A and B are shown apart, each in its own frame.
Chain A
Amino acid sequence: MNREDELKAILEDLARVAEDPAAYAAAWKRETGGKVIGVFPMNFPSEIIHAAGALPVLVQEDNAPITLGRSLLYEFYCGYTRSIVDQAATRKFAIYDAFFLVDHCVALLGAADALRFEIPDKPIFLAQYTASMDEAWTPPEIRKRVEDLREALAEFCGAALTGADIEASIAAYNRNRQLLRHIYALRRKGRIALSGRQMQILVKSAMVMDVEAHSAKLTALIELLEAGTAAATGLVKLHLSGHFCHAPRPELLDMIEDCGTVIVDDDLFTGFRFIATDVPADVDAIAALTRWYFDRNSNVPCSTRAQMTVDWEEYLARSVHGSGAEGVIILLAKFCEPHMLYYPELRQELLRCEIPHLLIETEHEGLALEMLRTRVEALLETIRLKKAQPALA
């Protein structure tokens, strides 16, 4: 196989995993006999499930229209939560042995609680992480919750789940994140030509696959990417921001790029936010997973957390300057309250920094892509006008 074919084959393999996590999980279960545990976003430490010998799968939104799920959640919940209850109601969660979550999003908790009634044979364990991160008493509280997870998983999986087990898993996940961050760095520098859709495949598959198998694929992929050609020049560089918990539809990313742009960076959950922060290796496993929770928000602030000392908008502006992005598209999943609450702060900072931006609200039911194309094109006009202004002056 030549380089292009090899590259294509790896991406297709990972795309199949990203598109059908249940099929991958079923194959993994057949092969290993292990348990498959669904986790809900956005702060769950998958390392601890991996250390227990199970496969952690970050449950994804699927593309199916919401049908039976309508009898569990109202239509004014975000697409992700409606999708997961619909997947439960339409019996798509058979492969999972249990579900675990640590996040306290009100919509997510409502959905998870509905799952307890819809699929009562599946344990659903909540170790609620305190979202307010400023107080001195929060870290010990989070440590207790990590201990709860360890206890519950050890019992559920019949595993010893020692500190050494968890540390080995931490190392495996850190390596995976480092590989993905390397690809992000190459993309920021314009050294590789990976589309938004392809980057999403890499991160989404990382949320689903066995971590060592995923890292092996990434290692091979990086070698091929580095041997390839640089990204096309002359395109408008964009940063994509937001879209918590689930991935924006790839066709939206295609459309944005089709307008003459290249996505150079992002802080999407199914993107850089997911892989930005390693678990520290200089403390015991439980302390490390505890600290990771705080480090993640310091590193890439998230408006689902309550922390006075960090600001997402400052991070965003800094990232834009760092990557050389010329504009920002904020992707907001409809009904996502933490994002709706924080959007004015982002907008003000982008205006203050004179960074052109556009807000696009996404919906599970689909997007009016051609209408959105007009708005993206208007953003690009603004960016081009801004670039032309110094010359005109």
Chain B
Amino acid sequence: MSLITENSPPKLIVPQKAVQTNRLVSTRSGGKMVKDYWDRLFSARERGATVVWYNGAALNPIFQAAGIEWCHGEAFGARLAAMHLEGPAQRMGEEYGYNQELCSYARTTLGCAVLTHKEAAKYVSAADTADIPDIPSQEVLASRLPPPDLFVNAYSGCSTGQQWDEISYRLFNKQLPFFKVSYPLLWGNKADAGYLRGEEWMEASRYVAAQLHKLIEFLEFHTGNKFDWDGLRQSMHYIKRAAQLRIDALALCKATPTPAVFWDWVASIAPINFLPGNQDLVDYFAGVKAEIEQRVIDGVAALPGERYRLAFDGIMNWNKVGWLANQFADHDAAVICGRYTHSSFWNEPHLIDEDDPILGMAQHYLLCPFNHSTKTLGELLLRDCETYGIDGVVFHATRTCRSAANGQMVMAKMAQARGIQTMVLEGDVADASFYKDEILMSRLEAMLETIDVRRRAF
């Protein structure tokens, strides 16, 4: 008998107005790759693998070369939220004492940690779950994470991210090895500071690179495995190729109407964020790019009724991705680019030196989209608005993520000064209770009407 897991039947969905959208077909294989990854990770304990729990930057190539398996805390929190299965973990977190205003990623994964660490894990291994009446079945997925053998924290742009793993470490009785990578915010005290430039950028890059070398020593010490430098170079070779394909494909969406939308790119976050660097990853993004190229040739629009071109700023709304995609489509609004998809995840592949990848990796970790000054964020947003011909920007005011919310109001003013319309969407990264759906729709309609009025005026 199976448990309620990722194959659970979807919840009842209220029918929406039927709008034809052409979601990318090629991204479906990414979904399978990600599911296979998690399924394999869930069996890590049985296979005798060493497991690291980590948060923040995409350190997975380092773990891959260290011969250990990796569990990205936020990614698992996002996955639970996207599958509407975050409830049990969040309830466990609340019962443990975490306030609802605390980062919902942290609440979810700390709740998972409590479940994993305590009772639920033993139920997962039970052969017949029908004999376990006390554990609600949805808890099972939240407790399926293999317990960690070590922790690595590498959270840039968010002090909470680092503090959260201090708590994870304590939840496991302060007995597991724990390594922390620290990042400076790219603040810009000096006149030469800016995106990918200036003395502060280079100093920060070297500081983080040095810590990555220390991390590798730490992993060698605690696993007893000699670090596979050739393996790291190889995986970074694949990641660089995959990243370049992704960037090239993103650029194709300058076309009007756009051949793919932000929601398609959301589907590709997990593969580029934490799947192994290998030929499969390259093939996946080659497939995505090829499909978009063909669409451009054939004149196929992602949203055939495209009337508005929007940008999305902020972190993802994992509980509501599908719902949001439908709402925007219903209004003929093609969301084309976003900070989380376009300014993140190996987004400057030219920085990666395949022969000596550590510095370029450190620089990408610093380029976390929440680790910039507001000035830089505003400049990147305006750049994207110009590149993609954006009419309006949607700011996701993420209730429990100050890291993603920082700078948004100033960025909105910068966009408005350029004649670009803006709106704020109140929501959250992994807690659906913070949404106000009707207010969101009213604001969207108001922004689109304003865009229409301006078009008529000019």
With A76-B101, A128-B184, A132-B182 in contact, do A113 and B373 touch (Cβ < 8 Å)?
yes
Which A residues between 48 and 88 are near B, CB-CB below 8 angstroms?
A: 71-74, 76-77
Least Cβ–Cβ distance between B187 and chain A, in angstroms: 5
Over the window 148-177 of chain B, the binary record of Cβ atoms lying under 8 Å from chain A Cβ atoms (1 yes, 0 no) is 000001000111101111110110001000
Q: Which residue of A lies closest to B218 (CB)?
A: A135
A338→B163 contact, CB < 8 A = yes
B102→A110 contact, CB < 8 A = no
Interface size on B, residues (CB 8 A): 48
Least Cβ–Cβ distance between A73 and chain B, in angstroms: 7
A137→B211 contact, CB < 8 A = yes
Q: Which of B268-276, B321-329, B341-349, B405-413 contacts A (4 or more CB under 8 A)?
A: B405-413
Over the window 112-153 of chain B, the binary record of Cβ atoms lying under 8 Å from chain A Cβ atoms (1 yes, 0 no) is 000000000000000000000000000000000000000001
With A114-B374, A130-B182, A308-B174 in contact, do A303 and B163 touch (Cβ < 8 Å)?
yes
B98→A341 contact, CB < 8 A = yes
A128→B187 contact, CB < 8 A = yes
A126→B189 contact, CB < 8 A = yes
Contact of A338 among B159, B165, B410 (CB under 8 A): B159
Least Cβ–Cβ distance between A280 and chain B, in angstroms: 24
Q: Which residue of B lies closest to A311 (CB)?
A: B170
Over the window 277-319 of chain A, the binary record of Cβ atoms lying under 8 Å from chain B Cβ atoms (1 yes, 0 no) is 0000000000000000000000000011011100000000000
A131→B182 contact, CB < 8 A = yes
Interface size on A, residues (CB 8 A): 47
Cα(A23)–Cα(B35), bound, Å: 62
Q: Which residue of A lies closest to B165 (CB)?
A: A306
With A109-B406, A128-B187 in contact, do A341 and B178 touch (Cβ < 8 Å)?
no
Which B residues between 163 and 209 are near A, CB-CB below 8 angstroms?
A: 163-167, 169-170, 174, 178, 180, 182, 184-185, 187, 189, 207
Across the interface, which residues of A come within 8 angstroms of B375, CB to CB?
A: 116
Check: B214 CB closer than 8 A to any chain A CB.
Answer: yes
Check: B359 CB closer than 8 A to any chain A CB.
Answer: no
Across the interface, which residues of A come within 8 angstroms of B108, CB to CB?
A: none
Check: A340 CB closer than 8 A to any chain B CB.
Answer: yes
Over the window 377-420 of chain B, the binary record of Cβ atoms lying under 8 Å from chain A Cβ atoms (1 yes, 0 no) is 00000000000000000000101101101111110010000000
Across the interface, which residues of A come within 8 angstroms of B184, CB to CB?
A: 128
Check: B15 CB closer than 8 A to any chain A CB.
Answer: no
Check: B210 CB closer than 8 A to any chain A CB.
Answer: yes
Across the interface, which residues of B come within 8 angstroms of A113, CB to CB?
A: 187, 373-374, 406-407, 410
With A337-B103, A340-B101 in contact, do A76 and B409 touch (Cβ < 8 Å)?
no
Across the interface, which residues of B come within 8 angstroms of A307, CB to CB?
A: 166
Check: A175 CB closer than 8 A to any chain B CB.
Answer: no
Cα(A72)–Cα(B407), bound, Å: 8
Which B residues between 255 and 298 are near A, CB-CB below 8 angstroms?
A: none
A340→B98 contact, CB < 8 A = yes
Least Cβ–Cβ distance between B148 and chain A, in angstroms: 15
Contact of B402 among A71, A110, A347 (CB under 8 A): A110
Cα(A114)–Cα(B374), bound, Å: 8
Across the interface, which residues of B come within 8 angstroms of A128, CB to CB?
A: 184-185, 187
Which B residues between 350 and 367 are near A, CB-CB below 8 angstroms?
A: none
Check: A360 CB closer than 8 A to any chain B CB.
Answer: no
Q: Which residue of B lies closest to A112 (CB)?
A: B187
- Residue from the set A71, A343, A344 with the largest chain B CB neighbour count within 10 Å: A344
B180→A132 contact, CB < 8 A = yes
Cα(A232)–Cα(B403), bound, Å: 47
Check: A373 CB closer than 8 A to any chain B CB.
Answer: no
Check: B97 CB closer than 8 A to any chain A CB.
Answer: yes
Over the window 136-162 of chain A, the binary record of Cβ atoms lying under 8 Å from chain B Cβ atoms (1 yes, 0 no) is 011001000000100010000000000
Least Cβ–Cβ distance between A298 and chain B, in angstroms: 15
Cα(A137)–Cα(B374), bound, Å: 29
Across the interface, which residues of A come within 8 angstroms of B160, CB to CB?
A: 106, 337-338, 341
A152→B410 contact, CB < 8 A = no
B163→A304 contact, CB < 8 A = yes
Check: A28 CB closer than 8 A to any chain B CB.
Answer: no
B402→A107 contact, CB < 8 A = yes
Cα(A347)–Cα(B166), bound, Å: 16
Across the interface, which residues of B come within 8 angstroms of A344, CB to CB?
A: 96-98, 167
Given contacts A76-B400, A113-B406, A341-B163, 7 further A-B contacts (CB under 8 A): A106-B160, A109-B187, A114-B409, A117-B413, A337-B163, A344-B98, A344-B167
Can you list 8 contacts pairing A with B, beta carbon distance less than 8 Å?
A74-B397, A74-B409, A109-B187, A110-B402, A137-B214, A141-B182, A303-B163, A340-B102
Residues of B within 8 A of A (CB): 96-99, 101-103, 106, 153, 157-160, 162-167, 169-170, 174, 178, 180, 182, 184-185, 187, 189, 207, 210-211, 214, 373-375, 397, 399-400, 402-403, 405-410, 413
List 6 tightest A-B contacts by C-beta distance, closest first: A344-B97, A110-B406, A132-B180, A340-B102, A340-B99, A337-B160
